[in-house]
Structure 1
Amino acid sequence: MSFKFTMEPRVSFLSALLKDIYEGVLKIPRFQRSLVWKRQQQRELLCSIYEGLPIGALLVWNTRLDNINTYDHIGPFLVEKAPSTSSNIYLMDGLQRLSTLYCMLLHPSDKISSKYANENRVSDFLMYCDLSADSVENMFLFRDELSADELVRKNYMYMPLDLVFKSKELLRFQRLIPAHLEGLVDRCDAVVSAFKDYKIPVIPLESDDQALVTKSFERINSRGTVMSEAHMLNALSYTDKFDLLGSLDLYSEKYFDESSKWKEIDTEFVLMLLKLKLGYEIYSKETDKLAKNINDDSVSEIFESIERLAEFARKYLNIDSPASFPYRLQMLGIARSFLDNPNCSPEMLVSWFYLSAYTNAFGTTARNSQRALTDLYDYLKTGSLPWSLNQAPALLPLEGIKVNLNAGRIKTWVLALAARLDASNISYKGGDKRLIPIRPKEFMSYERRPGFYFLLGDKSAKKFDINDMSEYEADANFISLELIELYNNGKYDEFAKLRETLMFAWEYKNLISPSAKLANFVIEFSAKNH
């Protein structure tokens, strides 16, 4: 059955649309995305209206359904809750445009909510019009783009945009303009007329079939500001008993306190984990099918598994942040393992973590990534790690690799350095700061290669001197007598090459080899350099 437009398009004054929002007649459904427009997008919208350019049609949904949860605010401003009627009107497309105009033009200061003002600063929606601007692009200014001195000395030059619909306040402002600058009055009148007289096409859809409307919503929102998959899925799965976005917020608060770095886990990761739980591939885009199977319980289970992932990472990998994982899909695999079996073997997970990191199992294609995850699940069942990727597993030595702190191989190497420090019983202050490798000043003019980097803890890179390191510090940082001699003789390239060899040998002996033995896994060295 195709979706039918059963009402004729109409044209509405901007002022009437803003009034409908203020009075709660035009409702904002909670499956809409929140305010995401950047300042430049907001400014360009105002410029378009001033110049009389079209800003696109709005799409509204007329329905007898009254079980659609709606927002009670836009930005920091509350909106009225309209009395129940036999027909409801929901804004389906155009939220970013109308929200911008509502907050900046109507700017209902009598509706400021202390609750939402904390999330959205009221001052962020104070817009001024520079009546002396030489072009429309320079006409609209945010409050923090003007100094207090400018607003005092030239208050007649900067018209608050929220005066457009406030006749008395507008008249008082125009009286401030000096008589010899009557051109500013004309510009002021032109601004007011542009917004008061502006009309917007409105396309109404009339249906009581929520599934059809949300499908239309999905297709329409594939253009313009990209909607996240979470919002799209929320639109398709939304009922009066389940709000996906609300559940994500609820369980994030429940399982992680404000200080936890795991609270930063993004919704895309949660959705990928949901897909795995429900039998879909991680990159599947069958949103409509997925929406039929998710509920509050499944979201809760996902966050329980992420909590177990966080505890496992802290206890066995010396990782306390998602950002420290070499590959995000490693987190996905481990969390999925805890979904299947909360008591799965931590030793097997550790071995898989190191083998997948050192073999670059997640650094090629999406298909290989899916296969690497499947290999993990088979490993946990059989005790032997298979390899179904379309390239042979091979180890990359450190020599020739350029240090990029976001690269998986470098993150793995940093974790190895941290493990070496822990094994040496050297304690540093500053917590996670020691997981950031530092290149001392002697090596700044050389290539960014691992051999020139250290985890120095409280030591300053500017005051770094290998000769000042204690015996334990030197050993923890792979500094031998031969390396000290190379350093003192200024043979830095030879120093880096030898140190990289020592570090990789330690990685192989203490992390790679034990993991391969436990997993019954055969691995080879690669001569490939990066």
Structure 2
Amino acid sequence: MTTAANHTSNALLDRRPEARTFSVQDLLEVVASGRLRIPSFQRGLKWDRMDARLLLESLFRGYPVGTLLLWEAAAPAGEVRFGSLTLPAPQMPNALWVVDGQQRIVSLARTLLAADPDSDDFALYVDLDAADFVAPPAIGKRRADPSRWLPMTVVLDAEKLMQWLLDHAAAPGSRQRRDTAIQLGRRLREYEIPAYIVRSDDQAILRDIFNRINSAGKSLDDSDVFDALNGSRLQSRPATITQISSELEKLDFGRIEERLLHRLLRVLLGLPVVESARSDPPRLTDKEAEQAYRLTAATASQIIQFLKSDAGIPHYDLLPYKQAFVTLGRFFQLHPQPSPRSRELLARWIWRGALNGAHQGDTVSTRKVLARILPESEERSVNGMLEMVSGKPSAIPDVADRFNFRFAASKLLALALFSLEPRDLVTGDRLAAGQLMSQVHSGHDSSPLVQIFPVRAGKTEEALQSAANRLIHPPHQRGVRRLLVGIDDSRLLLSHGISAAVRRALDDGDSAAFLKLRAEWMRPRVELFFARHARWDEPDRPRIASLIVDDEEG
């Protein structure tokens, strides 16, 4: 795949951008009509309810909120989604595509146009006594004093607002509240937001404008800028790195970081893995961009299947070093159907590099590994990769070491504990790593391994900080030690590394003996688990067929 020129466009606009203003009411009428579109090359929504609150507060106070940049161009029929709000969007020749201002426009649409005052994550009310924007108050609070809490969904339409005020006119203090509501509605509806409208058929010019706007201060991530410059505004999917990440979640491997997918995409395009601060982002034609996104999605899917089935790593958050994901992408791009022997050796490469730290992933070491992957030889590529991780470490992660799930050593220990096939302490069902990791992520916990004996404030015992004091457990269940004491099923307990001797120490409440005995029981099993995956002492010979030279080649 060849890329288009990376330099800044030298083209000139045929017509200068039109400078105009939109009142908030007029702008949202454009939104409601389906004329205003969010192109798929835009980054995902970064704002939340607090940002929307600050925007509305600025409008009410009359503060400046920045300028919009819109691109007038044809648009196909479809739907436009703003959070809980879905609007029909007919085909039209003069749609307004948002180049700059997406966060502001979407926030206004979600707070002011939503069908239900409580249905959207951006939902806001106004406390008419304090003249303050607030999250939806508790239902009991609203019932106790309904005229105090004005839903923002009635503010944009003057008739709706007046009807709401009439419905609450008999409430105490309603006159002062009515005056505040009327003033608020008028100031919001009539606030004028400046905008530029660009009219040009040249997408390169539009993307150049976007890049110039967003390059100052590096307000966007590299992946955001790439999407902005190269994502398609048509309906093809995936059209952004964010969409790739979302679609990959269907494989039950967790959410792959967009930063990592952007690096994978660059490597697949033959670009340096990390963008230089002195270089411009690559600019692709629409066809090249579509191919690049599809290739990245397909390659990432192949990597995930390999990690799960061959390397025994069931979830992204359990991958010790993430940069290995990118390196595997280059290998599968050049050798999309490796032999079973190559897949076996690649799994060794994953585990050896994780155990000896070779996969830590600084740019220099990553470039060196990528250089070992040769298009002409699958076997030589695998062999070269294995040479980079050949050093057997003098020490491997130990269950008595301090546990911190942010570090690779603790992720490796977590994988070893998952290999015991732990079972739920309540139901007895086997705990599937992928499913449990998803529960942990949705609950905002950082690790699926919870403490058995709590670490008290001011306590510094190393044993309490170790993996020996950790147990794989669903995040919604509490009281692990209490549950353990009530279990008589020895097989269930062994699935968590708790032998009969360890259980007796637990019953005695002797935490020191419990942690010492549990570490002694688990240590040889953890070492065996690592050895079984790394296979340090086994030969790494390629498949026999690759060593046979055809007579005509001799």
Contact 2:349 2:534 in 1 (8 A): no
Describe how 1:89-238 pairs up with structure 2 within 5 A.
Answer: 89-105=96-112, 107=113, 109=115, 122-133=119-130, 136=131, 139-142=132-135, 145-175=136-166, 176-178=168-170, 181-222=174-215, 226-227=219-220, 229-238=222-231
> How many equivalent residue pairs?
494
- CA change 1:131–1:234 in 2 (3 A) is same
Report the Cα offset of residue 468 of structure 1. 8.2
- CA drift of 1:187 comes to 1.5
The answer as to whether partners of 1:330 and 1:353 remain within 8 angstroms in 2 is: yes
Residues 243/228 of structure 1: CA separation in 2 closer, same or farther (3 Å cut): farther
Report what 2:466 is aligned to.
449
Q: Identity over aligned residues, as a percent? A: 17
Deviation of the 1:132 alpha carbon:
0.3
Displacement of 1:44 in angstroms is 0.6
**Letter matched to residue 307 of structure 1:** S
Do the aligned partners of 2:355 and 2:396 also contact (CA within 8 Å) in 1?
no
Superposition TM-score, scaled by structure 1 size: 0.75
CA 1:14–1:364 in 2, change beyond 3 Å: closer, same or farther?
same
Q: Which residue of structure 1 lines up, in the alignment, with residue 350 of structure 2?
A: 353
Q: 2:501–2:517: 8 Å Cα contact kept in structure 1?
A: no
Q: CA deviation at 1:410?
A: 1.9
Letter in 1 for 2:321: Y
Match for residue 324 of structure 2 among 323, 327, 330: 330
Kindly provide the CA deviation profile for residues 363-394 of structure 1, in whole angstroms up to 9, marking residues without a partner as x: 36332334344456699415644689899874
Q: Which of 532, 536, 550 lines up with 1:514 in the alignment?
A: 536
Residue number in structure 2 paired with 1:318 = 312
The alpha-carbon distance between structure 1 residues 512 and 98, as it changes in their structure 2 partners (threshold 3 A), is closer
- Separation of aligned partners in 1, 2:29 and 2:185: 16
* d(CA) in 1 for partners of 2:309, 2:34: 51
Unmatched segments (≥5 aa) in structure 2: 1-9, 423-427, 438-446, 543-554
Distance of 1:420 and 1:174 partners within structure 2 = 64
Q: Which amino acid aligns with 1:177?
A: A
Is structure 2 residue 253 aligned with structure 1 residue 262?
yes
> Cα deviation per residue 1:193-249 (whole Å; 9 max; x = unaligned)?
211331222233343321011121123234699545444333322456674644778
CA distance 1:186–1:334, shift in 2 (3 Å): same
TM-fit CA distance, 1:358: 0.9
2:425 maps to none
Letter of the aligned partner of 1:356 in structure 2?
A: G
Amino acid at match of 2:212: R
Contact 2:46 2:103 in 1 (8 A): yes
Amino acid at match of 1:262: F
Matched, 1:343 2:338: yes
Counterpart pick for 2:29 among 16, 19, 22: 19
Alpha-carbon offset, residue 416 of structure 1:
3.6
**Native 8 Å contact 1:372 1:387 kept in 2:** no
Q: How does 1:350-389 map to 2 (within 5 A)?
A: 350-363=347-360, 365-375=362-372, 380-381=379-380, 384-385=383-384
Q: 175-184 or 202-211: which moved more?
A: 175-184
Distance in 2, Cα, partners of 1:519 & 1:69? 57
Q: Structure 2 residue aligned with 1:72, among 80, 86, 98?
A: 80
Compared CA separation, residues 379 and 245, structure 1 to 2 (3 A): closer
Return the alpha-carbon distance in structure 2 between the equivalents of residues 388 and 49 of structure 1. 62
- Which moves more between the two structures, 349-358 or 381-390? 381-390
Structure 1 letter corresponding to 2:368: R
Distance 1:108 1:302, change over 3 A: closer
Q: Which amino acid aligns with 2:352?
A: L
CA displacement at 1:89 relative to structure 2: 3.6
Contact 1:261 1:322 (8 Å CA) reproduced: no
SS at match of 1:264: coil
- Secondary structure of the 1:221 match is helix
1:307 maps to which of 286, 291, 301: 301
User: Quick check: 510-519 or 42-51, which moved more?
Assistant: 510-519
Q: Deviations over 1:399-434 (max 9, x none)?
A: 573111232122223334555779xxxx97233269
Paired amino acid for 2:396: P
Distance 1:472 1:61 in 2: 62
SS of the residue aligned with 2:16? coil
Letter in 2 for 1:363: Q
Q: How far apart, in 2, do the equivalents of 1:483 and 1:509 lie?
A: 28
In the alignment, the residues of structure 1 paired with residue 492 and residue 121 of structure 2 have an alpha-carbon distance, to the nearest angstrom, of 54
How many angstroms does 1:274 deviate by? 2.1
Match of 2:397 in 1: 398
Question: What CA distance in whole angstroms lies between the structure 2 residues aligned with 1:442 and 1:150?
Answer: 38
Alignment partner, residue 414 of structure 1: 414
Coordinate RMSD, CA, aligned: 4.7
Farther-moved stretch of structure 1 (444-453 vs 29-38): 444-453
Query: Contact 2:245/2:255 (CA < 8 Å) preserved in 1?
Result: no
Shift of 1:72: 2.9
Q: Work out whether residues 231 and 289 of structure 2, in 8 Å CA contact, stay in contact via their aligned partners in 1.
A: no
- 1:343 partner letter: P
Unaligned runs of 5+ in 1: 113-119, 521-530
> Aligned with 2:310: secondary structure?
helix
Alignment partner, residue 116 of structure 1: none
Give per-residue Cα distances to partners, 1:100-148, cap 9 Å, x unaligned.
223323x264xx9xxxxxxx98444543221101xx5xx1123xx3233
- Paired AA for residue 60 in structure 1: L
Name which of 9, 29, 37 aligns with 2:19: 9
Asked whether the equivalents of residues 67 and 240 of structure 1 are also in contact (C-alpha less than 8 Å), the reply is: no
Q: 1:452 to 1:469 in 2, by over 3 A?
A: farther
Classify the secondary structure of the residue corresponding to 1:201: strand
* Cross-structure match for 2:71: 61
Tell me how far apart the structure 2 counterparts of residues 156 and 419 of structure 1 sit (CA, whole Å).
Answer: 59
1:431 corresponds to = 432
Q: Determine helix, strand or coil for the equivalent of 1:66.
A: strand
Distance 1:373 1:474, change over 3 A: farther
Q: What is the CA-CA distance between 1:98 and the residue it aligns to? A: 1.8
Corresponding letter in the other structure for 2:169: I
- Contact 2:248–2:256, Cα closer than 8 Å, also in 1: no
1:74 corresponds to which letter in structure 2? F
Aligned-partner residue type, residue 99 of structure 1: V
* Aligned counterparts of 1:226 and 1:453: Cα–Cα separation in 2: 40
Distance 1:385 1:493, change over 3 A: farther
